[in-house]
Amino acid sequence: MKLITGKKENKVFVGVLDSTERKVLAVSHTDSMVDCIAKGEEFLQEIHEKIKAASEEDYFQIEEVTLLSPITNPPKNIICVGKNYVDHAIEMGSKEDIPEHIMVFSKAPTTIIGPADLIKNHLSITKQLDYEGELAIVIGKKGTNIKIEEALSYCFGYTIVNDVTARDLQEKHKQFFLGKSLDTSCPMGPFLVHKESIGNPNSLQIETRVNGEVRQSSNTKHFIFSVEEIISTISKGMTLEPGDVIATGTPAGVGKGFKPPRFLKPGDQIEITIEGIGTLTNKVSLEI
């Protein structure tokens, strides 16, 4: 089941794709996927009832809908895991940079944009804008101190995040937050896929292309820390809530990892594809 947050005729709604993924049925006339997720099983039941009762005329063609980020108002900052692939940890430093424990940082909610939205180039602030294709977990129910064997029951589903990063700001400020939190630096989408449609989140192909060129190609089976470990560890002493977004880390092939580095330029198009979810596409703006 693939869900969207969409807009048609200036009205925002939560919808579900049909089996062809070319048509959309509105299942809730709200602008908050988070509120829908918080309803738990009641929300899923509502979706099934709407699908059962719908006629062909109730569906929109997907071309008629502007896709927004599936999560537009997370309860807290986007939670991010750093260096969760060995090859990426090495390209950013050396084998000594492979973490023994989960590295966690965050991005401000104001970074979120949807599919096809422009990423600001921020040329007045950074000369080293970089891409990071990532699988993102969306939490489905409230929990703290979650046991690893129960972790997936707290997950609602998965989406794609581009953890856009200003590398020079990271280096300048000696921390992650400012370099990760520039406006428009968290493209998300295009769909939120319910966990039952994914199977094993720790075995998904992931690929990032810049202007059609493959830059990142890997599989989440290469995670250092699995989805279950991530959820369990982050929840230790901190309450996770419905709609929380956790980005699980990026594989090797980021711009900074090339010699010389290959940072994003105005007009560049970034496409991130994850098996079972879809492709998230955004361009870097030409104007400052």
One domain for residues 60 and 87: no
**Could you tell me what percent of the chain has a pLDDT over 90?**
94
- Residues 133, 263, single domain; the answer is yes
Are the C-beta atoms of residues 280 and 189 closer than 8 Å to each other? yes
Q: Would you say residue 40 lies in a domain?
A: yes
Domain assignment present for residue 25? The answer is yes
Query: Are both 188 and 133 inside the same structural domain?
Result: yes
Position 220 pLDDT exceeds 90: yes
Domain of residue 177, residue span: 78-284
Instruction: Tell me, yes or no, whether 104 and 222 share the same domain.
Output: yes
Last residue of a domain, one of 68, 88, 113: 68
Using the 3D structure, point to which of 47, 68, 89 is the last residue of a domain. Answer: 68
Give pLDDT, residue 30: 84
Q: What is the CATH number of the domain that holds 183?
A: 3.90.850.10
Look at residue 274 in the predicted model and tell me its pLDDT.
98
If asked whether residues 49 and 131 sit together in one domain, one would say no
User: For the residues 97-104, what does the mean pLDDT come to?
Assistant: 92
Mean pLDDT of the region 207-224: 98
The answer to whether residue 73 sits within a structural domain is no
Tell me, yes or no, whether 199 and 240 share the same domain: yes
pTM of the model: 0.97
